[in-house]
């Protein structure tokens, strides 16, 4: 099975590649980092990671690379979006007005509202950096760990606001709730970083590869 990690010129590619190789142990999987649209179209599974600015990611996907990603999704082949790989599925972002996302899902990306710690009353910092739980809201693909919510690692200042609540797969509390994962068709995308989230994150990757 060929797993393509889409290279849009932003960070975090190699850690995602290594995590997928670990999750593939014992399986005959080929993990490839590529920015070649033809290679993406040939992939059995596509992973879209990304750390950085929405505008940079959107511009990288504005041509043939983005067309290949849309084609992969339209064909119903499994897709895993991580951080910007979640946000770019939407129509646009307040981080980069005028830069269009892939537009696969209706809705927008907005700045995370600075909330208040419910225990101390102190203001919460933005960006949201560190460990937090993701509570399943009906993960249709079953990629989230079963049972009680588990901790994942987050690094972000923006969150997605889907028009269709049925795509919401998980929510997270940071002063107030925000959407931390979506699922539709054979696509799953999360605001947290599975490749940095220890056993729980590895489980997400393993279930994605088995889906």
Domain extents in the chain:
2-210
Choose, from 57, 156, 195, 206, the residue flagged as catalytic: 195
Q: Label residue 21 by pLDDT band (50, 70, 90).
A: very high
- At 118 the pLDDT is 79
CATH code matching the domain that covers 2-210, chosen among 3.40.50.10470, 3.40.50.880, 3.40.50.300, 3.40.50.2300: 3.40.50.880
Segment 22-49 mean pLDDT: 92
What is the pLDDT at residue 116?
86
Give per-residue pLDDT as tens, 89-127. Answer: 999 999 999 999 999 999 999 999 888 887 888 889 999
The one catalytic residue in 72, 128, 156, 193 is: 193
Q: Which of 89, 111, 173, 174 is nearest to 137 (CA)?
A: 173
> Is 57 labeled as catalytic in the residue annotation?
no
Q: Which residue has the higher pLDDT, 146 or 51?
A: 51
Please state the rounded mean pLDDT for residues 168-184. 95
- Considering 17, 57, 72, 83, which one is annotated as catalytic? 83
Query: pLDDT grade, residue 188 (50/70/90)?
Result: very high
pTM of the predicted structure, to 2 decimals:
0.94
**Of all helices (H) and strands (E), which one includes residue 169?**
strand 168-174
6 beta partners: 34
E strands, 1-127, in order: 2-6, 30-34, 45-48, 79-82, 92-93, 107-111
DSSP per position, 101-149: ---SSSEEEEEPP--B-TTT-PBPPSSEEEEEEEEES--TT--SPSSS-
- How many Å apart are CA 177 and CA 36, to the nearest integer? 37
Q: What crossing angle do the helices spanning 198-210 and 13-23 adopt, rounded to 10°?
A: 70
Q: Give the lowest-confidence range in 83-92, 136-145, 152-161.
A: 136-145
Distance CA 99, CA 186 (A): 26
Question: What is the per-residue pLDDT for 141?
Answer: 81
Mark whether 17 is an active-site residue.
no
How high is the mean pLDDT of the chain? 93
């Amino acid at each position: 099975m060929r797993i393509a990690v889409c290279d849009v010129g932003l960070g975090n590619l190699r850690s995602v590649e290594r995590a997928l190789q670990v999750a593939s142990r014992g399986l005959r999987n080929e993990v490839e980092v590529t920015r070649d649209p033809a290679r993406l179209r040939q992939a059995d599974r596509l992973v879209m990671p990304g750390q950085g600015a929405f505008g940079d990611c959107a511009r990288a996907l504005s041509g043939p690379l983005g067309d290949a990603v849309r084609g992969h999704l339209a064909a119903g082949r499994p897709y895993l979006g991580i951080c910007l790989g979640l946000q770019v599925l939407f129509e646009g972002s307040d981080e980069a007005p005028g830069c269009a996302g892939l537009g696969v899902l209706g809705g927008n990306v907005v700045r995370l509202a600075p909330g208040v710690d419910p225990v101390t009353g102190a203001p919460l910092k933005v960006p949201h950096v560190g460990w937090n739980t993701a509570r399943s809201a009906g993960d249709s693909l079953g990629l989230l760990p079963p049972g009680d919510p588990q901790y994942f690692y987050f690094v972000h200042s923006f969150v997605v606001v889907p028009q269709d609540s049925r795509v919401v797969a998980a929510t997270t509390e940071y002063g107030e709730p925000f959407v931390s994962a979506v699922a539709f068709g054979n696509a799953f995308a999360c605001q947290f970083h599975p490749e940095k989230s220890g056993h729980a994150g590895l489980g997400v990757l393993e279930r994605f590869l088995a889906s």
